[in-house]
Amino acid sequence: MQERPYVISVAGFDPSGGAGLLSDSKTFEQSKVMGLGVCTALTLQTASECLSLEWRPLDEVTKAIQVLMGNYPVSAVKIGIVKDAEFLAKIIETVKTGNPETKIVWDPVLKSTSEFTFFDLETLPQLKETVNKLSLITPNYNEYKVLKENNLLPDTDRCSLMIKGGHRKDLLGTDVLVEKEKEILLHPQDDHEICFPKHGSGCVLSSAITAELAKGKNMETACKQGKLYIEKFLKSNSSLLGTHSL
């Protein structure tokens, strides 16, 4: 059996399993990569609301990343909820120190769908020096607008940008990949099939893309494969908690 590449999710713990570490782990397993995990925060949430959040100390997070990267050949890292710009910068620095070639995908979760704020928005200006050290960021349309208003979009010659289309009024479900200043529209595979809203769908999409990058796919192919994965997930059932299947 061919050895699977190693991938780390650096994300929050969601006891419902719909988002964060548990969701990423399910996605990694189905995507045929070896999923490792580092917890950034303990949350109490269900598929419909987030009730509480407790951040883990930054030094414990970076220590865990160091241990994993020191023991496994990690090809890619997906970053989920982080406390602020410093938290993100230290995680990226730790990964790059472990292996400068490791691909890093950040899903910039600023607020939950239920309006629970995760990221300290007062530290947004500090992201200016950080975003171009990433391989890809995957904001939803609302998060994209926040980043754009604050002049924080990446230089797409250095870090690709994929704007998720699930919150758009026009072209609903169409994602936009910007790579090397070139826009690529990623349309839904079948407009006539019913997709259901899902808790954690952003986590699943970014993890699926990260898995494909770890397997050596180029950015456009990885994003297209990730979109196919999330569409299956959104069609899996009518509840807010999706199921993963091959």
Give me the residue label for tokens 């009024």.
169
Q: Please report the beta strands in 107-146, taking only residues with DSSP state E, as ranges in sequence order.
A: 136-137
CB within 8 A of 193, min separation 6: which ones? Answer: 235
Q: How is residue 153 annotated by DSSP?
A: -
Domain boundaries, given as residue ranges, for the chain: 6-234
Give dist(CA 59, CA 54) in Å, integer. Answer: 15
Four-CA torsion 227, 228, 230, 235, nearest 10 degrees: 140
Closest CA to 30 of 216, 230, 199: 230
What pLDDT shows up at residue 237?
Answer: 83
Give dist(CA 135, CA 128) in Å, integer. Answer: 15
What pLDDT shows up at residue 152?
Answer: 94
What pLDDT shows up at residue 7?
Answer: 98
Average pLDDT value over all residues in the chain: 92
Q: Are strands 160-163 and 175-179 parallel, antiparallel or unpaired?
A: antiparallel
Give backbone dihedrals phi and psi of 218, rounded to 5 degrees, phi first. -75, 170
Mean pLDDT of 138-155: 93
What pLDDT shows up at residue 1?
Answer: 42
pLDDT band per the 50, 70, 90 thresholds, residue 166: low
Give residue-wise pLDDT tens across range 190-235: 665 678 888 888 999 999 999 999 999 999 999 999 999 999 988 8
Q: CB count, 10 Å around CB of 219?
A: 19
What pLDDT shows up at residue 192?
Answer: 56
- Contact call for residues 162 and 134 (beta carbons, < 8 A): no
Position 169 pLDDT exceeds 70 = no
Looking at the domain that runs over 6-234, which CATH code has it been given? 3.40.1190.20
Position 18 pLDDT exceeds 80 = yes
